Amino acid sequence: MDQAEVMERVVKILTPWVKNEEALASVSMDTNILEDLKVNSARLVDVVIAFEDDFDIEIADEDVDSVNKVGDAVKLILEKLG
């Protein structure tokens, strides 16, 4: 699976939790999930679990510490996919 495909699926997974639709329209690897997309930080856990289910991977709490931008999530998933 390449980066573009993972990015597309990540954005699709994030969409239901996004409160800033404008930012979603111009989403990129540098888009901040909490600050730009306005995803509720308390719901980030649901997003991460959705990543786990969709990509069939396991994500530890510590893995999420480095996920601030969409690109961080994409990189983490690519790492987990090996």
Partner 1 sequence: MDRPRRLPLQHLVQREVGRLLAPLWIPVVVMVMRFGLGYRVAGLAEVRAKFARIREAREASGIPMLICANHLTLIDSFLVAWAISPTWRYAVHFDELPWNIPERRNFSSNLRERVSSWVMKCIPITRGGARGEVAAVLDRISTLSAAGEVALIFPEGGRSRSGRVDVENAAWGVGRIVGALPGCQVVCVYVRGRKQETWSALPARRDVLDVEVACIEPKSDAKGVRRSRDFVRQIVSQLASMEQEILDGRQ
Residue from 2, 4, 25, 42 binding partner 1 (CB under 8 A): 42
The nearest distance, CB 10 to partner 1, in angstroms, is 16
Residue from 24, 68, 75, 78 binding partner 1 (CB under 8 A): 68
User: How many whole angstroms separate alpha carbon 23 and alpha carbon 45?
Assistant: 21
Token duo for residue 68 = 């601030």
Q: Per rule CB under 8 A, is residue 4 in the interface with partner 1?
A: no
Q: Which is nearer to partner 1, 59 or 78 (CB)?
A: 59
Instruction: Give every CB contact of residue 14 below 8 A, 6+ residues apart in sequence.
Output: 24, 33, 37, 39, 47, 70
